C-alpha cells in the first residue's frame, strides 16, 4: 500500500517554510480524507488491511460506475481509494458525484477536503464554502477551512475559523491540534505549545495530538522533553528517530525562527487520475506507528460527513 510521509516529517517540512525553504506544505494540516478533521466517513470498527480496502474499492467502484450519482457508493469508493493512496482518483470520483449532487453537504465536504489533500487549496476553499451554511454550522467544515487557509499562509484567518469551530465544540482536541499547528506555522511556538497541551489533556485526544506537542516542544530546542512526550505513544527507537530527524532539520535550516512572514503557497496537483488503485509504495523519512497507511488512525476517531458511507463499506 502506498504510504504517505511521516506526520512528523510533514509538519517539519511545513515549519521549514518559515525560513523560506522550498518544500511542499501538502499534508501538514489536517484537511484530507481520513485525516484528523478530514475523514469522509466514520472510521471503520477495526483496522483494515490493504486487501480489505482493495475489496471495498472493487465493490463500491462497481456500484459507483453503475450509478455515478449514487453519493453513498461514491463516498465509500473515494474513501477506499484514499486508503490505497489514490488521492487524485478519489478527487475525480468526488468531482463527478458533486456535479450530480450539487447540494449534498456531505459530498461537498468530502470533495473539498480531497482537493486540499492533493494541494489544490483555492478550489478546496471554494468547495468547502459551499459545504457550509451559517444557519447549520459544521465544526468539521470550519476546521477544514481553517486548515486550508493555513496551507495558503493565511494564518490569522485560519485561526478565526478554528475559533468558530471551538464555539460549537469547546476543547475539541482535533480542532485544538489544528489551531496549535497554525500557531506554530505563524512562529508563535509558546502559544502553539499551550494550545496543544490543552488538546492533550482531553480524554478523547488521539496519540497524534501528543506527537504534535512533542514536535512543537522540540522546535523550541527542548529535545529531551520532546522525546519523553513522544515515547508515550511510540517505541523508544521511533521516538528517538523522530527527535533526531527534527534536530537535523533544524540544523539544516537554523534560520527558520528568524525568517520573515510565512510565504503563501499555491500548490497545484498535476497528477491525472488513474483507472485502478496503484500498488506502488513510497518511502517515508520518519515513520511514526500511527501514520496514515492505516489511515493514521483517524485522529481522535473523528466521524466524517455521512454515516451512510461507513455502512456501505463495512462488510
Q: What is the pLDDT of residues 167-205, one digit of tens each?
A: 999 999 999 999 999 999 999 999 999 999 999 999 988
* pLDDT at 7 exceeding the cut of 80: no
Q: Could you tell me if residue 228 is inside a domain?
A: yes
Q: Could you tell me if residue 2 is inside a domain?
A: no
Q: Could you tell me if residue 49 is inside a domain?
A: yes
Q: Could you tell me if residue 293 is inside a domain?
A: yes
Question: Quick one: pLDDT band at residue 222, thresholds 50, 70, 90?
Answer: very high
Q: Could you tell me if residue 152 is inside a domain?
A: yes
Q: Could you tell me if residue 294 is inside a domain?
A: yes
> Among 191, 186, 247, which Cα is nearest to 219's?
247
Give 80-128 pLDDT, tens digit per residue. 999 999 999 999 999 999 999 999 999 999 999 999 999 999 999 999 9
Q: What does the H/E/C string look like for 128-194?
A: HHHCCECCECCHHHHHHHHHHHHHCCCHHHHHHHHHHHHHHCCCCHHHHHHHHHHHHHCCCHHHHHH
Look up the pTM and report it: 0.69
Question: Quick one: pLDDT band at residue 234, thresholds 50, 70, 90?
Answer: confident
Query: What pLDDT, on the 0 to 100 scale, is given for residue 193?
Result: 97
> What is the number of other CB atoms lying within 10 angstroms of the CB of residue 172?
24
Provide the domain limits for residue 40.
Answer: 7-313
Could you give the number of structural domains in the chain? 1
Question: Quick one: pLDDT band at residue 238, thresholds 50, 70, 90?
Answer: confident
Which CATH number goes with the domain that contains 159?
A: 1.25.40.10
Q: Could you tell me if residue 1 is inside a domain?
A: no
Give 250-284 pLDDT, tens digit per residue. 777 655 444 444 444 444 443 444 444 444 443 33
Amino acid at each position: 500500500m502506498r504510504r504517505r510521509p511521516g506526520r512528523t516529517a510533514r509538519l517539519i517540512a511545513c515549519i521549514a517554510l518559515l525560513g523560506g525553504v522550498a518544500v511542499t506544505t501538502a499534508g501538514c494540516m489536517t484537511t484530507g480524507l481520513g485525516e484528523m478533521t478530514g475523514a469522509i466517513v466514520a472510521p471503520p470498527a477495526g483496522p483494515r488491511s490493504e486487501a480489505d480496502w482493495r475489496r471495498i474499492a472493487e465493490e463500491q467502484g462497481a456500484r459507483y460506475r453503475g450509478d455515478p450519482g449514487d453519493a453513498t457508493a461514491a463516498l465509500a469508493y473515494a474513501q477506499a481509494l484514499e486508503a490505497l493512496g489514490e488521492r487524485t482518483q478519489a478527487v475525480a470520483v468526488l468531482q463527478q458525484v458533486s456535479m450530480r449532487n450539487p447540494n449534498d453537504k456531505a459530498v461537498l465536504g468530502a470533495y473539498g477536503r480531497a482537493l486540499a489533500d492533493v494541494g489544490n487549496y483555492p478550489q478546496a476553499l471554494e468547495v468547502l464554502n459551499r459545504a457550509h451554511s451559517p444557519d447549520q454550522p459544521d465544526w468539521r467544515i470550519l476546521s477544514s477551512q481553517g486548515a486550508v487557509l493555513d496551507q495558503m499562509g493565511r494564518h490569522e484567518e485560519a485561526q478565526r475559523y478554528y475559533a468558530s469551530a471551538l464555539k460549537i465544540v469547546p476543547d475539541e482536541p482535533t480542532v485544538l491540534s489544528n489551531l496549535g499547528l497554525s500557531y506554530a506555522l505563524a512562529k508563535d511556538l509558546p502559544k502553539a505549545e499551550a494550545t496543544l497541551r490543552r488538546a492533550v489533556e482531553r480524554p478523547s485526544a488521539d496519540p497524534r495530538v501528543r506527537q504534535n506537542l512533542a514536535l512543537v516542544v522540540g522546535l523550541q530546542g527542548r529535545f529531551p522533553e520532546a522525546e519523553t512526550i513522544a515515547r508515550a505513544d511510540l517505541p523508544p527507537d521511533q521516538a528517538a528517530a523522530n527527535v533526531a530527524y527534527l534536530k537535523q532539520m533544524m540544523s539544516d535550516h537554523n534560520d527558520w525562527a528568524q525568517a520573515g512572514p510565512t510565504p503563501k503557497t499555491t500548490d497545484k496537483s498535476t497528477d491525472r487520475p488513474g483507472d485502478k488503485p496503484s500498488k506502488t509504495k513510497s518511502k517515508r523519512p520518519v515513520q511514526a506507528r500511527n501514520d496514515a497507511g492505516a489511515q493514521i488512525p483517524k485522529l481522535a476517531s473523528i466521524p466524517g460527513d455521512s454515516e451512510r458511507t461507513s455502512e456501505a463499506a463495512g462488510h
